[in-house]
A and B are shown apart, each in its own frame.
Chain A
């Protein structure tokens, strides 16, 4: 008769279901988890300290690399903090563009989450489906910023440039016949806004496809229903935000409750779960994608009708246009000062929170009046969610831990910073 004893299992840091570099030390009783101890920090780059050593604008790129699945929303939190300290307000068109790209980012993030989460649980097809739509949205990123992921597109005072009038085209090659190219380029003949509008037209049916595969799927439900139940009281106590909190039935969304940019002009609903389990969080995120689609549609309509500036006219903060610099001495000086020294931000502190796809993402900025921040503290939603993993996974099976990690929607860029 062998002796039965608890043993410790090391999960990660190089495990495909760990979503990055998570090392999880699990104390197991047979196949039941007694205690989970996440070891994080394997991706710690000291972004906050690096930001303290650079002028304000040079750290926008670090924000992209925090949660590298929802790049522009991170930028929004940081840029908004600087704007509030400076007391400037970006032009309305820039705010609409920001809201539109925030929602594009939300769909991007949720698609990646859905694909990888389903893959972890055992559904390969979802991954392929989700990445098909991500491709279109990453093309929007590329069209507007030149970069598919790390855009650095939001700047204090607006966005870097206006939406482009053309989209990149596919070209015939050994792998793409002219007929393929024509089909692929059909939606790309107009402006970026036309392309996004076309996307919003077909995206709801794509979400229906995902739901056909998963929502009533027996295996999916067996793996997610009743796994990692969090009561609303515990969710608040543990500091959960975003879909994690809404999945537990708390109708809390910063876009509605503390609206920023132009979210107060948007018409959308907040989905709320009932049971607080992994399945409800899945349903909440699926519905959020549909709502984001609605918001994008409203932004596209407004942006098509209202051309205008996308950057404030204050050249102490925003660089002057390049044409002016060629002839105007003052513009040249402004440009030189901005790109060598940067701008000084008045002394003070600000906490700027945005509704990130994962929860409440916030940047707490302390300025002592210098051209570099005195302290930048990023409040990452995933960090808090992962700290709740211990409590959520107790009493569940080892295989459920994988479901839970997927359900938390964690990305190590933001957790480790």
Chain B
């Protein structure tokens, strides 16, 4: 498996020289970071080139990186009384719609689209990650013309994250309700949502109303630096291409 990845990585570096932002390898998988401007061009190469031959787009996934590394319970530092017990409301499971905390966490672009490619002919896979340049109005070129299977996946990413795919033939919402407001998988969208639906006996129809349930998540989100994985992480960093 690893020689195959080596060959694929070498091949990629040769074919799209100079346009690779980062070529990362972990868990026997290859991740290629490129910029949104190059996406259509590189996708064409990946599909057409006989050595690469990625004939199938398996998955398109939107990601909102705004809360990456955000925890609710600090476990790094302690006082004389021990670790702090207070859980801070930081993740979407704990706030309602009007009190979303300012996005913090890591710097850099907020939205990314991750593509998973598969070559049936050569039996290899590749992951491409492309960051959207604008956080306020994230856009991405559509790949429907290159791989037709992108159609619904891009509609899904648009629906859930609000990423607009330029050149998509039919960019409508797909999973959420007719007339839904907002993009539910963004990290500033609360888990409980903001409207609920019920039958109103007086008006004799189904109505929408603000949510009446309170957000409740039992387990705080923590990050523990585990010494067992630190060595691996350090190794990975040194082998980054």
Task: Please list the residues of chain A having a beta carbon within 8 angstroms of any beta carbon in chain B.
Answer: 40-41, 44, 46, 48-50, 52-55, 84-85, 87, 236-239, 241, 250, 252, 257-258, 316, 340-342, 344, 346-351, 353, 360, 362, 364, 366, 368-372, 374-375, 377, 379, 383-384, 386-387, 416-417
Contacts of A351 in B (CB 8 A): 29, 59, 116, 125, 127
Question: Are B224 and A372 in touch, CB under 8 angstroms?
Answer: no
CB distance from A34 to the nearest CB of B (A): 16
In the complex, the chain A residue whose C-beta lies closest to that of B185 is: A49
B:102-145 near A, CB below 8 Å: 114, 116, 120, 123, 125, 127
Contact among A41, A250, A341, A368 with B176 in the assembled complex (CB-CB below 8 Å): A41
Question: Are A370 and B226 in touch, CB under 8 angstroms?
Answer: no
CB distance from B175 to the nearest CB of A (A): 4
- We find that the number of chain B residues with CB closer than 8 angstroms to chain A is 53
Contact among B67, B120, B125 with A250 in the assembled complex (CB-CB below 8 Å): B120
Contact among B56, B114, B221 with A371 in the assembled complex (CB-CB below 8 Å): B221
Contacts of A236 in B (CB 8 A): 55-56, 120
CB distance from B105 to the nearest CB of A (A): 9
Question: Are A340 and B116 in touch, CB under 8 angstroms?
Answer: no
Contact among B64, B153, B175, B220 with A40 in the assembled complex (CB-CB below 8 Å): B175
Question: Are B69 and A87 in touch, CB under 8 angstroms?
Answer: no
Indicate whether A348 sits within 8 Å of B26 (C-beta atoms), given known contacts A53-B93, A383-B152: yes
* B217 CB-CB contact with A under 8 Å: yes
Contacts of A238 in B (CB 8 A): 148-149
Interface of B is mostly: loop
* B43 CB-CB contact with A under 8 Å: no
* B199 CB-CB contact with A under 8 Å: no
- A205 to B125: give the CA distance in the assembly, Å: 40
Question: Are B184 and A374 in touch, CB under 8 angstroms?
Answer: no
Contacts of B176 in A (CB 8 A): 41, 44
For B147, B148, B220, the residue with the greatest tally of chain A CB atoms inside 10 Å of its CB is B148
Question: Are B185 and A372 in touch, CB under 8 angstroms?
Answer: no
Contact among A347, A372, A383 with B221 in the assembled complex (CB-CB below 8 Å): A372
Indicate whether A344 sits within 8 Å of B223 (C-beta atoms), given known contacts A53-B191, A239-B58, A370-B71: yes
Contact among B61, B147, B177 with A364 in the assembled complex (CB-CB below 8 Å): B61
Q: Nearest 6 pairs between A and B by C-beta?
A: A239-B149, A346-B229, A41-B175, A53-B93, A387-B152, A377-B61
* 28 A-B pairs whose Cβ atoms sit less than 8 Å apart in the complex: A41-B173, A44-B175, A48-B185, A50-B191, A53-B217, A55-B219, A84-B27, A85-B27, A87-B232, A237-B147, A241-B58, A342-B219, A348-B27, A351-B116, A351-B125, A351-B127, A362-B59, A368-B68, A370-B223, A371-B219, A371-B223, A375-B63, A377-B114, A379-B58, A384-B149, A387-B149, A387-B151, A416-B175
